[in-house]
A and B are shown apart, each in its own frame.
Chain A
């Protein structure tokens, strides 16, 4: 009896220990961002050969110096502004194109639409690294090199397919009866969409807004290809590429920027991840 209890304790212990190991592996770089962002330089820049100086903790009191430098002495806020501006436009384009398309695929187009839907979903698999070279051609034909409009034009190529797919799944989950009843009552299909479906779809549209925006914040390849001047960069490009003095990174401010940018995105993303995953796997498993 005691033996069995012991083995249960050991099992539970092993379980929580392995959960801890996974968590530590996942979180460690964020902890590192945090430490670096708030350490004083004399605590930060101690060579790792000095084994008596423990890098895992604050050896000197933490400082806000790097954060102040980030906001006051670097273009970080400009980059945030650029990102919000581009993100808002991309979100607007995405909603206008993807929401009606999602409804159409869910309700109006039948088997033909089903195939179209799979086609649209598969375009999500075509990566930026295959398209950035032809895009650089297209962008220069339009004269949009180094312009935020290049990104506004290109980003919907991945937000629209994915969000169309998400909205399609969302509209399918709304009971058909509601719409049918409204049509029996004499509404046209279009007014059903506007007066019955649209209000019910608000939470789905909110998901699309969040996803389109976080995808824009995470994008790096197209921004690297099209944007060259520091003042026009987005956060995910400017922070890794332009927070340098000559050849030396401002590591403290850089990690502060990484932390301040990543954590809010990660939190929001986490809240919506279940929808995202069910969209992806429904795409792959049910077609």
Chain B
């Protein structure tokens, strides 16, 4: 058993005096572990993001790889296009209306679920289904529910005596918009409910109890104690909801394809139609880029909110 000279020494000294290697240099190790993920995101989110901006200033088509500068031409074409203005207007409308409804529904759903004595978990599970199901499949279910001939909604309204004529859901711009907003609300309110529920558990119970002891009634307690405390968490739900709703393509695409008469297009679906189906990448990119302000506002608001909550407001 002849060990090479020095080997024994190293072995006995190992616990205390082992030489420091890369495996110990924490800053370096940290960078090595982080870099692959960072590079992936940089190359496949950062670069395409810059490319999205560049494309919007170019005459690129998906047929060729040529890349010629077009200045503000795409934007000028887009802004003077009534279809685009309609899409922009719809995006804002769908987002604002559905988020207002989502806030009201989600806050009340959360309060209701929290107050349940039995069946809380079951109700939460069922309410969450719309958010968990794949959006494209859920959209198909709604397409069938609003079918012009077989709509169960029409049947029920008729039987209840609330409908005299007939609703052609996807044949009329207003009805089509109501249908789209319904689906957005249906999909987003469960998500917001769960966020609010999670936020409520973080609110100390004694605040609410104290208000009760102080003699505050149900409504006063709700509006002056509970809701203000919930505000930051509701804000988080709304910010996410804004991003998910304003940038969504699948619901509009599967329900109406932007119809009837291009009246229900949103920025995302119009960008898809022009940029991918119409092969005009430049114009498609220019249209999609109008979503950017929303995202910037949301990102800034998130960071602000983070700071405010951190200092304990």
Contacts and interface: CB of A to CB of B under 8 A. Distances in A.
Contacts of A127: 243-244, 247, 268, 291, 295
Contacts of B52: 130-131, 133-134
Interface string B120-134: 000101111110111
A42 interface: no
A273 B108 CA distance: 20
Interface string A24-48: 0111011011001000000011111
Contact of B159 (A46, A51, A118, A164): A51
B154 interface: yes
Contacts of B24: 188-190
Contact of B145 (A29, A221, A239, A281): A29
Given A51-B158, A156-B40, A188-B23, A118 B276 contact: no
Contacts of B81: none
A153 interface: yes
A97 B299 contact: no
A126 B49 contact: yes
A contacts with B: majority SS: helix
A130 B291 contact: yes
Contacts, number: 318
Contacts of A240: 136-137, 139-140, 254
Contacts of A137: 51, 55, 60, 62, 65, 281
Contacts of B125: 270
Interface in A84-112: 96-98, 100-101, 103-105, 107-109
Given A133-B271, A240-B254, A255-B144, A19 B112 contact: yes
Given A129-B291, A254-B140, A236 B55 contact: no
Interface of A: 15-16, 18-19, 22-23, 25-27, 29-30, 32-33, 36, 44-49, 51, 55-56, 96-98, 100-101, 103-105, 107-109, 113, 116, 118, 120, 122-123, 125-138, 140-141, 153-154, 156-157, 160-161, 164, 185-186, 188-191, 214, 217-218, 220-221, 224-225, 235-237, 239-240, 249, 251, 254-255, 257-258, 261-262, 265-266, 269-270, 273-274, 277-278, 280-281, 284-287
Closest 9 CB pairs of A and B: A108-B30, A101-B37, A190-B23, A127-B247, A134-B51, A188-B23, A266-B132, A186-B15, A100-B33
